[in-house]
Structure 1
Amino acid sequence: MSRNVNSLFPGFEERRVRLASVNLAVLVGGSGPPILLLHGYPQTRAAWHRLAPVLARSHTVVVPDLPGYGGSAIFGRLEGSGSKRWMGQELHAMMRQLGHDSYIVVGHDRGARAGYRMALDLPQAVRGFVPISVVPTPEMWEGASKAFGINAWHWFMLAQPEPLPEIFLSANPRMVLDLSLDKMAQGLERLHPLALEDYRIAFDDPTVRHAICEDYRAGATVDEADDLADRAAGRKIGVPVLVLWEAGRRYGGGRKPIDIWKDWAIEVSGIGISGGHMLPETAADEVLEMLVPFLERVTNVPRS
Structure 2
Amino acid sequence: MIPGLVERMVPVDGASVHVVHGGAGHPVLLLHGFPQTHIAWRHVATSLADDFHVVCADLPGYGASSPSPGNDDPAAYAKRATAATMVAVMRELGHERFSVVGHDRGALVAFRAALDHPDVIEHLAVLDVIPTADNWAALHGAGGVFAFHLYLLAQPSDLPERMITADPDAFFGHFLDTWTGVPGAIPADIRAAYLAAAGTPRSIHAICQDYRASAFVDAGHDQADRDAGRTLTMPVLAMWQDPGDLVLPFDPRQVWASWAPDLRTRVLPCGHFLPEERPAEVTAAIRDLLAGR
The TM-score, its normalising length taken from structure 1, stands at: 0.91
Please give the per-residue CA displacement for 1:94-116, whole angstroms capped at 9, x wherever unaligned: 00000001111100000000010
Please give the per-residue CA displacement for 1:247-279, whole angstroms capped at 9, x wherever unaligned: 137643xx4212111101120011211111111
Alignment match of 2:85 (pick from 83, 87, 90): 90
Asked if 1 retains the 8 angstrom alpha-carbon contact of 2:71 and 2:206, the reply is no
Cα deviation, residue 232, structure 1? 0.5
Q: How much is the aligned-residue C-alpha RMSD, in angstroms?
A: 1.5
- Map 1:128-167 → 2, pairs under 5 A: 128-167=123-162
Alignment match of 2:98 (pick from 99, 103, 113): 103
Aligned residue for 2:46?
Answer: 53
**Structure 1: which 5+ residue stretches go unaligned?**
1-5, 299-304
CA separation in 2, counterparts of 1:21 and 1:270?
38
Cα deviation, residue 154, structure 1? 0.4
Paired residue total:
289
CA separation in 2, counterparts of 1:188 and 1:73?
32
The verdict on how the C-alpha distance between 1:239 and 1:141 changes in structure 2, with shifts beyond 3 A counting, is same
The TM-score, its normalising length taken from structure 2, stands at: 0.95
2:14 matches 1:21: yes
Cα deviation, residue 209, structure 1? 0.7
Asked if 2 retains the 8 angstrom alpha-carbon contact of 1:84 and 1:114, the reply is yes
Alignment match of 2:197 (pick from 182, 196, 202): 202
Identical columns (%): 38
Cα deviation, residue 162, structure 1? 2.7
Q: Which of 30-39 and 178-187 deviates more?
A: 178-187
> Which amino acid in the other structure matches residue 121 of structure 1?
D
Q: Runs ≥4 in structure 1, deviation > 6 angstroms? A: none
CA separation in 2, counterparts of 1:92 and 1:148?
35
Cα deviation, residue 78, structure 1? 5.1
Asked if 2 retains the 8 angstrom alpha-carbon contact of 1:250 and 1:256, the reply is no
The verdict on how the C-alpha distance between 1:226 and 1:44 changes in structure 2, with shifts beyond 3 A counting, is same
CA separation in 1, counterparts of 2:264 and 2:126?
11
Aligned residue for 2:60?
Answer: 67
- Map 1:219-298 → 2, pairs under 5 A: 219-248=214-243, 251-252=248-249, 255-297=250-292
